[in-house]
A = this chain, B = another copy of it.
Amino acid sequence: MRTIELSDRQEKIIEIVKESGPITGEKIADRLNLTRATLRPDLAILTMAGFLDARPRVGYFYTGKSSTQLLSESVNKIKVNEYKSIPVVVNENVSIYDAIVTMFLEDVGTLFVVDDKSLLVGVLSRKDCLRASIGKQELNSVPVHIIMTRMPNITTCKSDDLLIDVAEKLIEKQIDSIPIVKEKEEGLEVIGRVTKSNITKAFVTLFKKD
C-alpha cells in the first residue's frame, strides 16, 4: 500500500462525484468553471488511483474507498510478536503477599500463574490483589490460586496473532494483559505478554513523528 496526497482540486472532484455521481466529466468541469481538457489529468489520476470509476455513456462514480480503509491494511499486518513483553510468572502455591511483592519488584500489573510443570493455570491482576488485601484474606498464608482467574476463563493469544486482534480482545474482555502461549502436549506454556502499554507503545512507534 502506498499513500498519496491529492490536490485541493482533486478533493473537490471527489466530493462532487460522491454527491452527484454518476456524473460526466463535462458536468464536473462545469461545476468547477473549468474546461474538460483542464480536468483530464485529474480525472485520470483519480480513476487510476481507484477513487473513481468511469463507465462509458454513464460517467464517473465514487468507488467508496476511504483512506482509513486502505490505511488499515498495513496496520492489519502487524503481528503481536513485534510488540510483546517478557511475561512474569509465579507458582500457584505462592502466597498472595509474595505475589504482590513480585508485582512491585517486576513492576507489572498482572502475573501469570503456573503449576509445577510450568503450565498456565491462572492470571492474577493488581485488582485481584487489592480486593484480597482489603477483604478478610490472610495475605501471608492464602495461595494465589484461591483468588486468581483460572483456566479455562483466561484469554490467551499466540505469537503470530495480529496485534489489532489482541488489542480488540483487551478492550472486549476489559483486561489489562493477555499471555502469549505455546501449545504443549499437557497444556499451555507462557512465552510472552501483551498489555495495553504494548498497544500504546505500538501506536506511538507507528505514528509519532520526530
Contacts and interface: CB of A to CB of B under 8 A. Distances in A.
B204 A100 contact: no
Interface in A30-50: 41, 44-45, 48-50
A134 interface: yes
A2 B133 CA distance: 53
Interface string A110-140: 0000000000000000110111011000010
A201 B172 CA distance: 10
19 contacts: A1-B3, A2-B67, A3-B3, A3-B4, A3-B70, A5-B70, A49-B49, A67-B74, A68-B74, A72-B209, A76-B208, A76-B209, A126-B130, A130-B133, A164-B204, A167-B200, A171-B204, A196-B200, A203-B203
A49 B134 CA distance: 62
Interface string A72-88: 10111000000000000
Interface size class of A (residues with CB under 8 A): 35 or more
Given A171-B200, A196-B199, 9 more contacts: A2-B6, A2-B51, A3-B3, A3-B71, A5-B70, A45-B48, A45-B49, A164-B204, A199-B199
Nearest to A4: B49
A210 to B, nearest CB: 10
Contacts of A20: none
